[in-house]
Amino acid sequence: MSWDRVPVDLSGIRVLTQKDEFKGERVISYREAIREALSSALGRDTRVFIFGEGVDDPGGVFGTTLNLHKEFGQERVFDTPICENALTGIAIGASLAGLRPILVQMRTDFMLLSMDQLMNHAAKWKYMFGGKVSVPMVVRTIIGGGWGSAAQHSQPLQGLFTHIPGLKVVMPSTAYDAKGLLLSSIHNESPVVFVEHRWLYDHKDIVPPEPYFIPLGKGSLRREGKDLTLIADSFMVILAMAAARVLEKEGIDIELIDLRTIKPLDYDLILNSVKKTGRAVILDFGYKFCGISSEVSSFLMENAFEHLETSVLRVALPDVPTPASPILEKAYYSGEEQIITEVKRVLK
């Protein structure tokens, strides 16, 4: 394999922070937005390549890599054996050599097999070599239930990755954000774990056709309100918006923050919102124990204690393995009704 390693020309790519900066009406799905970002990155930068289990299958990783191997060739988009630890090591080596690999690990459970490479190598090399080397790689991975995959194939492990210094973790909730955040992740100089939720792939949004960046570490104020702040990530943002509409009919004015990047967190956005509303409920599609909701809750207690009128409450997954039964699975995952219940508890 050989690629041109001349740095890509990024002139002309806009850096956008809010959707309303684009006034068009082009609407595509979350899966299409990811594929478009990948196609754009492959087309603009010959250092970029995609590999992993199933990337050139007829399904193309839920449609996100569909036919990219035909468009850019199997040297740059290719399937791999089932060997997660070795694949992660290959991605690290390629990035150290000047390339920008995108490794697809279709379920976060599989990433447990490559944690040594991620934790002890990808996350540490820049620090150990005094900033003289970078590991600009992206690991795409998918969470989400509803497929009866049970305890070993349904784990939302994003909180585990945020615990590792040197890794960045991204969780977009909209098609617009998925494209802009993925492009930013690909051109970032740090290793990025890019977490997609399976239930979001069919959600649609206004998405510009041209490439654009959304800065990592910047959340989004999805809804302004005065009574309480909902702080959410990934699919929980969709549930939060639905809950906010229901609560609005009851005279409850909700402010909604979409974290977008969970490592680093946008602490300023969180703090300023809670200072205004005085109340917070944190929503995380991850485990409640030692998860993202724990970190945000601790931050608020340490930095906004004098502004809080009540305790901070959390909605997250219970500390038990995911059940396989569809009935138990439905009870296991948080829903709109639980969010509404917790909001009303805080407002009592």
Residues known to be catalytic: 153
CB-CB contact of 285 with 317 (8 Å) = yes
Angle between helices 175-186 and 30-44 (to 10 degrees): 30
Give the CA-trace dihedral at 152, 155, 160, 161, to 10 degrees: 100
Beta bridge partners of 105: 141
CB-CB contact of 180 with 206 (8 Å) = no
Gyration radius (Cα) of the chain, Å: 20
The string of DSSP codes covering 207-276 is --SS-EE--TT--EEEE--SSEEEEE-THHHHHHHHHHHHHHTTT--EEEEE-SEEES--HHHHHHHHHH
* The length of the chain, given as a count of residues: 348
CB-CB contact of 225 with 217 (8 Å) = no
DSSP 194: E
Distance CA 62, CA 197 (A): 11
Distance CA 68, CA 74 (A): 9
Strand bridging mode 204-206 / 27-29:
antiparallel
Beta bridge partners of 195: 141
Distance CA 124, CA 130 (A): 10
Phi and psi at residue 343, in whole multiples of 5°? -60, -45
Strand bridging mode 100-105 / 48-52:
parallel
Distance CA 173, CA 186 (A): 18
Enter the tokens of residue 26. 């082009």
Distance CA 194, CA 177 (A): 12
